[in-house]
Chain A
Amino acid sequence: MTDNAPRFWRAIPQRYNLIGTHCSNCNEYYFPPRNVCPNCRRSAQMEEHKFKGTGTVVSCTTIYSATEDFKRQTPYHLAIIQLDEGPRMTGQVISGPSGVKIGMKVKPVFRILGKEGERGIIYYGTKFAPLEG
């Protein structure tokens, strides 16, 4: 048995399709989604927004010593990505032969994010890959 099913299930829209929110009052985008716009508070007009998923790497690192579940993938790249609409998020970047660099343009790809061992849930969601190549 797993206790993680509800936690994973709630995040499916964000993980699969980068569903966040947008305040049409101040034109601010939020990812992960916010129910309240901190700029506009009561006058906020929040709506669901599906992010394009394209963005720019603003910082990155390479993981050589990973936790148990990610050992097989080392070395792999983590990056802070600024989505084209504005918000920043942390994500794994599937690098091509050229590796990952600050300023690199990226696009979303659908991948396995993790697995609960041999028997548990497989977590799918969005990672990033270089826009070109």
Chain B
Amino acid sequence: MASGIISYGVYIPRFRIRVDEIARVWGDGEDISEGLRVYEKSVPDMDEDAVTIAVEASRNAIRRAGIDPKRIGAVYAGSESHPYAVKPTGTIIGEAICTSPNFTAADFEFACKAGTAAIQACLGLVSSNLIDLGLAVGTDVSQGAPGDMLEYTAAAGGAAYVIGSSDLAAEIEAFQSFTTDTPDFWRREGMPYPEHGGRFTGEPAYFKHVTSAALGLLRRLDRVPEDYDYAVFHQPNGKFPARVARKLGFSKEQIEPGLVVPMIGNTYSGSCLLGLAATLDVAKPGDSIFVTSFGSGAGSDAFSIKVKDRIEEIRDGAPSVRDYISKAQYLDYAMYAKHKGKLRL
């Protein structure tokens, strides 16, 4: 039985800060945005968090395809900024989108790939006929310590996917994961900001895991990058996805529609899923999309996706990724610090 994406929705806060403005404060020079290939990043409003972003994205997903939320049997929310350490994000999402209480929920955490792990869990339940529809969400208001390199890219946003087995907008043909114990990035319990291994986050972490999962899936399906119209890779900055695409044999044109990090920064659990949503916003029936997420710690999930005719019917039912990107209100560093709670009152 074919399973996949019935609908999808996104949300990106309207506030932005330019990378050059952050560099001005820390004296890091003006070439940092070119080095990262990130020019601005999204900033949450003072009353937004991973839950409010997840709810807005999920409501957009429900609205886009006119889904009856009572059909949803599982809500899995992936984030590394769940506002409660104990008290699930998924319960609040379920209540806010008016599911029936008869659903299972759990919060996922796997750095930046918790959202794709949530999709895999939903696919399992849907494909085995244990539930009708599942809702998988990747959402984050990511943190970067003042002056740390992470501060240039740590952004806010999220995407929600309704997973089912009928009326597919896009079929998920297969997926493959690659996971090892690699301490490239972490945040200890109770700590406000994550720590990372600097350049160690590159080769042994991002590149090894993304290429291993991607090549594993391509080999299993006996396909090559040319078989795909589009590709999306996790986007911690603008450099990494471009480099890994080149390494695997995907072209600039294949990754271009889904490369949103230069305009909104790294939305962590939302990153890869926002890239996929931006690609679905422009894909045509019959197109193939190759997606590979990455989560520090570390692991990657690669997906092979085939777009169906239904995409044309649902596409305009909710705002696109570009709609949200185009609504930008810029902050200076002082207002950004206030928004992010970096000022202690």
Partner-B contacts on A (CB < 8 A): 12, 16-17, 50, 71-73, 94, 96-97, 109-113, 122, 124, 127, 133
Given A122-B83, A122-B84, A124-B52, are A71 and B345 neighbors across the interface (CB < 8 Å)?
yes
User: Are B46's CB and A17's CB within 8 A?
Assistant: no
CB-CB contacts of B25-58 with A at 8 A, as 1s and 0s? 0000000000000000000011111011001100
Q: Which of B329, B338, B341 contacts A96 (CB 8 A)?
A: B329
B332 at the interface (CB under 8 A from A): no
Interface positions, chain B 63-98, Cβ under 8 Å from A, are 83-84, 92, 95-96, 98
What class of interface size applies to chain B in its complex with A? 20 to 34
For this complex, 18 residue pairs linking A to B, each with C-beta atoms less than 8 Å apart, are A16-B95, A17-B98, A50-B98, A72-B341, A94-B45, A94-B47, A96-B14, A110-B56, A111-B47, A112-B47, A112-B48, A112-B49, A113-B47, A122-B51, A124-B52, A124-B92, A124-B96, A133-B327
User: Are B345's CB and A73's CB within 8 A?
Assistant: no
For the complex with contacts A94-B45, A122-B49, 8 further pairs of A-B residues with Cβ separation under 8 Å are: A12-B95, A71-B345, A110-B59, A112-B47, A122-B83, A122-B84, A124-B55, A127-B47
Q: Which residue of B lies closest to A113 (CB)?
A: B47
Give every chain B residue within 8 A of A110 (Cβ-Cβ).
52, 55-56, 59, 96
Report the minimal beta-carbon distance from A24 to chain B, rounded to whole angstroms.
21
User: Are A72's CB and B59's CB within 8 A?
Assistant: no
Q: Which of B46, B48, B49, B329 contacts A72 (CB 8 A)?
A: B46
Give every chain A residue within 8 A of B52 (Cβ-Cβ).
110-112, 124
Give every chain B residue within 8 A of A122 (Cβ-Cβ).
49, 51, 83-84
A50–B69 alpha-carbon span in the complex (Å): 14
User: Are A17's CB and B327's CB within 8 A?
Assistant: no
Report the minimal beta-carbon distance from A117 to chain B, rounded to whole angstroms.
13
Report the minimal beta-carbon distance from B191 to chain A, rounded to whole angstroms.
15
Nearest 9 interchain pairs by C-beta: A111-B47, A112-B47, A110-B55, A16-B96, A110-B52, A73-B46, A111-B52, A16-B95, A122-B83
Give every chain B residue within 8 A of A113 (Cβ-Cβ).
47
Report the minimal beta-carbon distance from A121 to chain B, rounded to whole angstroms.
9
* Most A-side CB within 10 Å, residue of B47, B83, B341, B345: B47
A30–B92 alpha-carbon span in the complex (Å): 25
A122–B92 alpha-carbon span in the complex (Å): 11
Give every chain B residue within 8 A of A109 (Cβ-Cβ).
56
A111–B96 alpha-carbon span in the complex (Å): 11
User: Are A97's CB and B47's CB within 8 A?
Assistant: no
User: Are A97's CB and B45's CB within 8 A?
Assistant: no
Report the minimal beta-carbon distance from A104 to chain B, rounded to whole angstroms.
17
A37–B108 alpha-carbon span in the complex (Å): 45
User: Are B338's CB and A17's CB within 8 A?
Assistant: no
Q: Which residue of A lies closest to B98 (CB)?
A: A17
A127–B46 alpha-carbon span in the complex (Å): 13
A96–B329 alpha-carbon span in the complex (Å): 8
A110–B49 alpha-carbon span in the complex (Å): 10
Give every chain B residue within 8 A of A124 (Cβ-Cβ).
51-52, 55, 92, 96
Q: Which residue of B lies closest to A92 (CB)?
A: B47
Report the minimal beta-carbon distance from B256 to chain A, rounded to whole angstroms.
28
Give every chain B residue within 8 A of A96 (Cβ-Cβ).
14, 329
A93–B49 alpha-carbon span in the complex (Å): 17
User: Are A97's CB and B329's CB within 8 A?
Assistant: yes
A94–B49 alpha-carbon span in the complex (Å): 15
CB-CB contacts of B273-301 with A at 8 A, as 1s and 0s? 00000000000000000000000000000
Give every chain A residue within 8 A of B84 (Cβ-Cβ).
122
